[in-house]
Structure 1
């Protein structure tokens, strides 16, 4: 599997499925160039949908946040893991059934939109417990949910992210909290959200996209989900997975296109030419020879062209039997200008 060539991505694909944390913003802080890049793409006719594993907020709240960062998002263009979790609940229980929520207003809103009745106690005999991230989730509400699950309620998790990028670093994600309830009850939840493919198709369908591209920063959720959904993807280096992670990615987590940030969405993408194990693009080249990475320039200050060459050469080498471990230290200094 190698990188693809394409014209300007915002023109080649009719819609973009944007991740939020690490792509559009980091906590409450904007990601550099996100607003201008998305504005240009939308202005050129590409549709947008904002897909997030964060179930804490309503689409209206997320839409307002995006617009405050100069990203031209409509509330109707936001698709959350809470919405996906509520849809999953409809597959297990009928509308009007009682549900218990481990989460916040975004999850309550999504379930009520589906016609469910949200209750406050395991003593109300809810048919389903749905758990989604919210910063106020603690022992009491998680324990109440565990009681309901132990009484027979179906257990649903809106996503299984272990961590959540914030301004100060990576903090506990919903998956880490779900593990506590799972450990207590012995019940494995039905899960939705990224990287499961269904949520990508749901998000694309919400804006009637025919040929979408997924844009993400995290290989094991954004990119793995896009690959499993059969959707091309653009990886940006503004969030969780860094350049070395991309170069050492397993086939199931390899993006179609690479860029430093969202400005790459409005640029043409030329893939490196692969000849044997050597990859070449724009005067740069890379090759793994007898387990050693050789390059045309210093990878600690790599151009985007060199970055793409290094990634393609690493994929070719690993797929040909070179151990990832042998490249790990060699790629430690890989930084993209």
Structure 2
């Protein structure tokens, strides 16, 4: 029996929004795929850039959706942001919190003092996603940052996938503060290393696999941390984004959903594919052959990325290739 993608790894780091669930709904195939990982006794870590909920609430949400999850299996960007500050600041230092009550709790848990006003003379600002964040919160943070406070953003996701569609994420609020302060935050969540490093360390793992739906956070984070990655097409980024991905945002594996964890690694690796030919011809990336659409996409990506930078339109050399390009949204 051929080895599976899972066989090569001793922990799987799952992104949540857009990968395992969308709002209150599990992504198709996620339940069976994650359960099978547990049955194989491979540790999992649910690694989320969403800093609005404590680890226990995230675990309870997953359990409510049918996935057995424990708080210690959840790594949040709120935890990572608080840990980054704890490593730099003396115990009891005041930190202005822009975000949820659970983010303030994480700050307190590492021995720092969460505050909400610039008048409290905070030495740092930590900013995480919260649907309650408003102008008044940003104003307090703006004053503190302009006065010299250290600024840590839990993450910079511009959007948040939900069952209703894409909504503003923490990155949208970070952009507002960046514009108002002319400062740059230190980012604790994906694509930076603190969150992923903490998740791997908590599992005592040496060969992790990152699984996610976003090139700019999940996949870029894996590249930054030096770990292989699997991109699934169940969330934000799709075929057109993948094909145009610059170096540093390119996954090693590509699949429709999480069931790929239990298939041979060779089937999902981004490389030339049997049945398909992708070549640069006449200033375009040309596809010909026959087979399934995802195999064609893997072949196209492998050839496109090898071709270097610059515009390279995609075209079909035959009828079957034309139908696949339409299916992938690349026509």
Greater mean alpha carbon deviation, residues 194-203 or residues 235-244: 194-203
Matched, 1:309 2:299: yes
Matched, 1:28 2:24: yes
RMSD: 2.4
Query: What residue in structure 2 maps to residue 95 of structure 1?
Result: 91
Query: What residue in structure 1 maps to residue 319 of structure 2?
Result: none
Query: What residue in structure 1 maps to residue 314 of structure 2?
Result: 327
The Cα shift of 1:182 comes to 2.2
Greater mean alpha carbon deviation, residues 228-237 or residues 326-335: 326-335
Query: What residue in structure 2 maps to residue 3 of structure 1?
Result: none
Q: Is the 8 A contact 1:237 1:261 kept in 2?
A: yes
Q: Is the 8 A contact 2:52 2:103 kept in 1?
A: yes
Deviations 1:276-303 (A, max 9, x none): xx9332x3443333324122138xxx44
The Cα shift of 1:96 comes to 1.3
Query: What residue in structure 2 maps to residue 57 of structure 1?
Result: 53
Counterparts of residues 246-257 of structure 1 (less than 5 Å) = 246-257=242-253
Greater mean alpha carbon deviation, residues 74-83 or residues 163-172: 163-172
Q: What's the secondary structure of 2:326's corresponding residue?
A: coil
Q: What's the secondary structure of 2:36's corresponding residue?
A: helix
Q: What's the secondary structure of 1:91's corresponding residue?
A: helix
Q: What's the secondary structure of 2:41's corresponding residue?
A: coil
Whole-angstrom distance in 1 between the partners of 2:28 and 2:85: 37
Counterparts of residues 270-289 of structure 1 (less than 5 Å) = 270=266, 279-281=272-274, 283-289=275-281
The Cα shift of 1:38 comes to 0.5
Unaligned runs of 5+ in 2: 317-321
Aligned pair in 2 of structure 1 residues 186, 279: CA closer, same or farther (>3 Å)?
closer
Aligned pair in 2 of structure 1 residues 64, 272: CA closer, same or farther (>3 Å)?
closer
The Cα shift of 1:109 comes to 1.9
The Cα shift of 1:23 comes to 0.3
Q: Is the 8 A contact 1:226 1:232 kept in 2?
A: yes
Counterparts of residues 1-337 of structure 1 (less than 5 Å) = 7-270=3-266, 279-281=272-274, 283-290=275-282, 291-297=284-290, 302-316=292-306, 318-319=307-308, 323-327=310-314, 333-335=326-328
Greater mean alpha carbon deviation, residues 156-165 or residues 224-233: 156-165
Deviations 1:240-277 (A, max 9, x none): 11022222222211111111100001111226999xxx
Q: What's the secondary structure of 2:156's corresponding residue?
A: coil
Whole-angstrom distance in 1 between the partners of 2:269 and 2:196: 30
Deviations 1:122-148 (A, max 9, x none): 211122111111111111111122222
The Cα shift of 1:94 comes to 1.1
The Cα shift of 1:232 comes to 0.5
Deviations 1:146-190 (A, max 9, x none): 222233322211111211112222221111101212222232222
Q: What's the secondary structure of 1:234's corresponding residue?
A: strand
The Cα shift of 1:99 comes to 1.3
Q: Please report the TM-score for the alignment, with normalisation by the length of structure 2.
A: 0.89
Corresponding pairs, count: 321
